[in-house]
Structure 1
Amino acid sequence: MSSFPGLIDEIPGISVDRFNGDNFNSAVFFLSHCHTDHMQGLDLQFFQRIHDKHQYLYCTPISKAILINMFKLNDNLVNTIRTIDGCSPIIINYNQDSKILYLTVTCIPAGHCPGSIGFLFENEQYRILYTGDFRFDIDDLSKIKPLHTNVQDKIIPKKFDTIYLDTTFFNSEFRYLPSRQKALREICKIVDNWISQNEKNIVVLECSANYGPEHLFIELSKALGIRIHVKDKVFNSYTIIPELANCISDNPRESKIHACMGKLNFRSGMYCRSDVEPEFILTVVPSTLRWRNKNVSKCIFEWDENSRRFYVCYSCHSSHDELEAFIKYFSPDKLYPCVCPNNLKFEEFKSQLNQVLNSSTINASNYDLNLSRYKSLIEVNPDVSNFSDDD
């Protein structure tokens, strides 16, 4: 859950992923993705206010489509949303304290959900990276072109003054999390096995958040050739996302895979299919918090035979060790945590985060070290479960 207040200390006049309180005074707004903890303050009144002040919100085309559908924006308010996509920088000018300021903005694919991005902000004084919610494979860090530069024919990481970092799982209790690909293989196998046993069998995907498991829906639908019956409240938004549109359904009788219910509704059966008896329902639960302090390097799922519930470790956020590798690879001057654990004060957690940075700072002459240096940070994790293939 994001605790970032929205303001970038080094760049006055802009707000990112927070649209209330002190952010009212900003001149330019940015949205990394459409999850509710990053949308506080976004409502019709917000769009009317920035329309009246000739201001703009920047986001991806997918996020724009979701916002239009979510808030039923008219044409005037739609025009307050400007899209940024790909990895080509744009230059934004805005008025702050009676001065015209210029800001170069580049979006960075975040690997979190459809339309999710981070932002690279650059002006005459600072280079700032705001990651938004993200999950990168450490093997892919060197492939993110906007975060690298060419110096004397060497591609090296850019130097950042501050990285505003998704620290959701920067916690020793989540040192290792399996890749989404590995988790998806487990889910595909158990779902395929269940629905092939009996034509009456149905699978329920227990996904508590309205938005978040889109990547799971896409990959599961592609692998099994089955559309996913999703919640009514997200169906219209999903249909305007090309990669999702062919993977979902609003017809409960069209699919054997259902993600149409809240977290606890399954216990009373399927409200969309009253004809399905409980013994024909398998519940698959993709989750992360359940795996706190568990050794998921050896097995990434748990099976409860009595309730026919299949739990899989599945995360759209980077693990502790992935974040540590990210920090050591880019080695910014400062780090700002965008998610603070409930049991810590912000300044205490920020200090802990920057201690990791200070203990492993890499100077500019060492930027061309091969990424394999950092693989030692990630535990070698062969999956020894009965269902998995080796990575």
Structure 2
Amino acid sequence: MSGTVIPGTPIAVDCWSVRRASGARLFFLSHLHSDHTAGLTSTWSRPLYCSPLTARLLPRHLQVPSHWIRPLEVGQSHVLGEEVTVTLLDSNHCPGSVMFLFEGAFGTILYTGDFRYTSAMQGELALRGRHIDCLYLDNTHCHPHRALPSRHRATCQAARIIRAHPQHHVVIGECPRLPLRSPRQAVLPLPHAWSPLGSPGRCVQPGEGDAAGGPGAGVQDLGGGESLAPGADEAAGAA
């Protein structure tokens, strides 16, 4: 899903063409991956709503002027003008990524953007008892004959690949336009909730990184956009 102007509303999500979004007054950014920020540059000059983490990264990565950025707390409802109430929900995709629940005279709209579904999402307080009139659904990996591996399984697969190639310098994170320093350097994005640290043959559970003593030898932990070594996308299982 690369952005849209929602008909019958003043809302544009991940859409940064002022000409295409000429009727929009409220602009929302779901997350910072490049396919959702095309056209968003340092010349942007309208209020932009996003999660607090995305708000902190925007000026650094895209040089968007800070005075146009309006961070909204995740899990809380926010009234914007007299027309729209929006609630941001964690989309379980990348750091700072969110779904948007819009409410107004136009009804109730859920815009997922890129997300990784978990059963826990059914327990979101903002969604309980709500009738969704319109659903904008990212279905990139929604195919009946293709099973997307769980985040835990994908991380363990990636950890095995890293340990099988000790001669490589592996950078773990999401690093836009990160130059490879040598032919043996691989850039492998991994889900932000997991880290292949600790002893060989095991995956570290969330929160164990500090106790495990931080990244292992030859592994550098970074943050940022999307670069991928050949064949690593299947192993990483990115959604």
TM-score range, shorter chain: 0.7 to 0.9
* Pair 63,313 (structure 1): closer, same or farther in 2 beyond 3 Å: closer
* Pair 123,183 (structure 1): closer, same or farther in 2 beyond 3 Å: same
| AA matched with 1:257 | V
| TM superposition shift of 1:210 | 2.4
Q: Distance in 2 between matches of 1:159 and 1:44?
A: 38
1:23-42 aligned at under 5 Å gives the runs: 23-42=21-40
1:80-99 aligned at under 5 Å gives the runs: 80-93=68-81
| TM superposition shift of 1:187 | 2.3
Q: Distance in 1 between matches of 2:116 and 2:105?
A: 29
Q: Distance in 2 between matches of 1:27 and 1:209?
A: 31
* Pair 104,67 (structure 1): closer, same or farther in 2 beyond 3 Å: same
Provide the secondary structure at the position in 2 that maps to 1:185. Answer: helix
Question: Which of residues 286, 295, 299 is equivalent to 2:232?
Answer: 286
1:257 aligns with 2:228: no
* Pair 213,34 (structure 1): closer, same or farther in 2 beyond 3 Å: farther
| TM superposition shift of 1:287 | 1.5
* Partner in structure 1 of residue 203 of structure 2: none
* Partner in structure 2 of residue 315 of structure 1: 238
Q: Distance in 1 between matches of 2:7 and 2:188?
A: 32
1:128 aligns with 2:74: no
* Partner in structure 2 of residue 78 of structure 1: 66
1:224 aligns with 2:187: no
Higher helix share: 1
Q: Distance in 2 between matches of 1:214 and 1:115?
A: 16
Are the counterparts in 2 of residues 113 and 214 from structure 1 also a CA contact under 8 Å?
A: no
Provide the secondary structure at the position in 2 that maps to 1:22. Answer: coil
* Partner in structure 2 of residue 307 of structure 1: none
| AA matched with 1:219 | W
Are the counterparts in 2 of residues 120 and 129 from structure 1 also a CA contact under 8 Å?
A: yes
Provide the secondary structure at the position in 2 that maps to 1:160. Answer: coil
1:43 aligns with 2:41: yes
* Partner in structure 1 of residue 14 of structure 2: 17
| TM superposition shift of 1:218 | 5.8
TM-score by length of 2: 0.75
* Partner in structure 2 of residue 369 of structure 1: none
Q: Give the paired residue count.
A: 214
* Pair 287,259 (structure 1): closer, same or farther in 2 beyond 3 Å: farther
Q: Distance in 1 between matches of 2:233 and 2:173?
A: 8
Provide the secondary structure at the position in 2 that maps to 1:119. Answer: strand
Provide the secondary structure at the position in 2 that maps to 1:44. Answer: coil
Question: Which of residues 151, 154, 168 is equivalent to 1:183?
Answer: 154
Are the counterparts in 2 of residues 218 and 247 from structure 1 also a CA contact under 8 Å?
A: no
* Partner in structure 1 of residue 55 of structure 2: 64
Q: Distance in 1 between matches of 2:140 and 2:63?
A: 31
Q: Distance in 2 between matches of 1:131 and 1:208?
A: 21
* Partner in structure 2 of residue 7 of structure 1: 5
CA radius of gyration, larger in: 1
Structure 1: segments with no counterpart, 5+ residues: 51-55, 94-100, 150-157, 196-200, 226-242, 249-253, 265-283, 289-311, 317-391
Q: Distance in 2 between matches of 1:125 and 1:132?
A: 20
Provide the secondary structure at the position in 2 that maps to 1:122. Answer: strand
Q: Distance in 2 between matches of 1:210 and 1:256?
A: 20
Provide the secondary structure at the position in 1 that maps to 2:195. Answer: helix
Question: Which of residues 132, 140, 148 is equivalent to 1:168?
Answer: 140
| AA matched with 1:33 | H
Q: CA offsets, 1:219-256, max 9 Å, x none?
A: 225x239xxxxxxxxxxxxxxxxx9xx978xxxxx951
* Partner in structure 2 of residue 141 of structure 1: 121
| TM superposition shift of 1:42 | 0.7
Q: Distance in 2 between matches of 1:257 and 1:207?
A: 10
Q: Distance in 2 between matches of 1:263 and 1:189?
A: 16
* Pair 224,202 (structure 1): closer, same or farther in 2 beyond 3 Å: farther
Q: Distance in 2 between matches of 1:33 and 1:208?
A: 13
| TM superposition shift of 1:72 | 3.5
Are the counterparts in 1 of residues 189 and 227 from structure 2 also a CA contact under 8 Å?
A: no
Question: Which of residues 146, 169, 176 is equivalent to 1:210?
Answer: 176
Are the counterparts in 2 of residues 188 and 224 from structure 1 also a CA contact under 8 Å?
A: no
* Partner in structure 1 of residue 88 of structure 2: 107
Q: Distance in 2 between matches of 1:86 and 1:185?
A: 29
Q: Distance in 1 between matches of 2:172 and 2:71?
A: 32
